[in-house]
Structure 1
Amino acid sequence: MDDTPSQLPASPAALRAPADEAGFIMSSEDRTGSLLATLAASRPGGRILELGTGFGEGTAWLLSGMDRDAGLITVELDPGRPAVRTA
């Protein structure tokens, strides 16, 4: 069985290169990202909290599953990580 997602949001691919360059190995894999999008989609209008933004790949996956009424707060404690801001 191949459970690799067939559709990927555009953002994670663009975020992967800087993460790789920085040696960051904790980014969401495609299967995990697909699960994050599914979980976000299961909560229409929900409020979602992500702890540990990293380089934003998981954030992009969450956003891809959220509807317009949902909200996302994401927190990264490491000042060396790039800031990602979404509305």
Structure 2
Amino acid sequence: MMGYAQHVVLVDDDNNVLGIEEKLIAHNASTKLHRGFSVFLFNTKKELIIQQRAYTKKTWGGFWSNSWWWYKYMMG
């Protein structure tokens, strides 16, 4: 995937597609609503597994978060 920018799908509150924007541009102080999905993992004791985001992350560095997160990307 070298040479390709990752784009997130921008949506409104009703999940209507508004357009796309480069992932790195989309994540700033005024992040626009965009599609993504979360995975919640549980161990055998039915405890939710969470992760602490790296302090170096562009957004929400150091915060505790869901088990896994990903975007619906458009490549281009």
Bigger RCO of structures 1 and 2 (CA < 8 A, at least 6 apart): 2
Task: Return the structure number with greater strand share.
Answer: 2
State the TM-score, normalizing by the size of structure 2. Answer: 0.23
State the TM-score, normalizing by the size of structure 1. Answer: 0.21
